[in-house]
């Protein structure tokens, strides 16, 4: 017999989804709102059967899926329709289900745009050239003077440089050591690498100075303050950390899911609890 259950399930798809913070962030909020919804994790390895995963997303109980590494590019391809941000980035981290179709969104870009506040950046330094850096780059469209890109993977670096030029940006790529030396010139410095996950990691740009007007955006979230954020604070920079980004992503989902505006405040409270236990 066909399952006609009312949609009530949000899911997270990723190779280590069960280790992510999202279920712990969302489930208390869903409970307090009385939605009857649940948020669950689906661990899908890099070589997993993604055709079957897409089929599962079309089961009657599914509302939407967040998608994390390494499946954001798959999600962009799996979407029947998508936002301009998804089409530009080639990455999707939210699939909304409507009947037998999936609509792709990129809340990384939405969060970055909100957190950066629309301010013009005279010089952005992107350290790392993966999905996080791509999200910031797209969020900066029309709001940046020059962009400098660096990554230890030359191919990823050149791909992001190509996107920057497609977006009409004045951009260049430099090697890692040169990038660290350019931190003092950047009005926006982005750590789009895993550096900082370990307490033994130093600041992504090393121990050099920062520009007087610097904003430091560190995508890493951990149970400790990362060295990048700690040093940036000591130098007086405005800081956006990985927890801010996680919250920004979640808040961006609220209107897309048709949830009560109160959800934003509850997500903030839930994030404090999750962070204290990280």
CB 147 within 8 A of CB 137: yes
Query: Per the residue annotation, which of 72, 143, 165, 197 is the catalytic one?
Result: 72
- Other beta carbons less than 10 A from residue 152's beta carbon: 12
Interstrand relation of 101-105 and 94-98 (parallel, antiparallel or unpaired): antiparallel
At 253, list the tokens.
């989902």
Query: What gap in Å lies between CA 197 and CA 226, rounded to an integer?
Result: 7
Query: What gap in Å lies between CA 117 and CA 143, rounded to an integer?
Result: 10
Has 197 been annotated as catalytic? no
- DSSP secondary structure letters along the chain: ----PPP-EEEEEETTGGGSSHHHHHHHHHHHHT---EEEEEE--TTS-HHHHHHHHTSTTEEEEEE-TT-HHHHHHH-SEE-HHHHHHS--SEEEEETTEEEEE-HHHHHHHHHHTT--EEEEEEE--SHHHHHHHHHTTTSEEEEEEE-SSHHHHHHHHHHHHHTT-EEEE--HHHHHHTGGG-SEEEE-SSTTSSTT---TTTT----TT-EEEE----SS--HHHHHHHHTT-EEE-HHHHHHHHHHHHHHHTT--THHHHHHHHHHHHHHHT-
Which residues are known catalytic residues? 72
């Amino acid at each position: 017999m066909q399952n006609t259950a009312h949609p009530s399930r949000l899911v997270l798809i990723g190779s280590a989804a069960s280790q992510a913070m999202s279920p712990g962030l969302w489930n208390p909020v869903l409970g307090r709102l009385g939605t009857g919804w649940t948020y669950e994790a689906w661990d899908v390895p890099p070589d997993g059967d993604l055709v079957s995963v897409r089929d599962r997303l079309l089961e009657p109980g599914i509302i939407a899926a967040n998608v994390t590494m390494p499946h954001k590019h798959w999600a962009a391809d799996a979407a029947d329709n998508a936002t301009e941000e998804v089409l530009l980035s080639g990455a999707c981290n939210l699939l909304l289900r409507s009947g037998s179709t999936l609509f792709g969104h990129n809340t990384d870009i939405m969060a970055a745009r909100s957190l950066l506040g629309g301010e013009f950046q005279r010089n952005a330094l992107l350290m790392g050239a993966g999905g996080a850096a791509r999200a910031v780059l797209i969020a900066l469209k029309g709001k940046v003077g020059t962009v400098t890109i660096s990554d230890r993977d030359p191919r990823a670096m050149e791909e992001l440089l190509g996107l920057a030029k497609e977006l009409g940006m004045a951009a260049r790529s430099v090697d890692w050591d040169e990038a660290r030396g350019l931190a003092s010139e950047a009005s926006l410095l982005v750590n789009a690498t895993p550096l900082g996950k370990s307490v033994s990691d130093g600041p992504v740009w090393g121990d050099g100075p920062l520009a007087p007007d610097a904003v430091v955006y560190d995508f890493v979230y951990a149970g400790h303050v990362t060295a990048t954020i700690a040093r940036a604070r000591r130098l007086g920079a405005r800081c956006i950390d990985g927890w801010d980004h996680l919250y920004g992503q979640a808040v961006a989902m609220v209107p897309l899911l048709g949830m009560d505006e109160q959800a934003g405040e509850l997500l903030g409270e839930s994030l404090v609890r999750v962070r204290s236990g990280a």
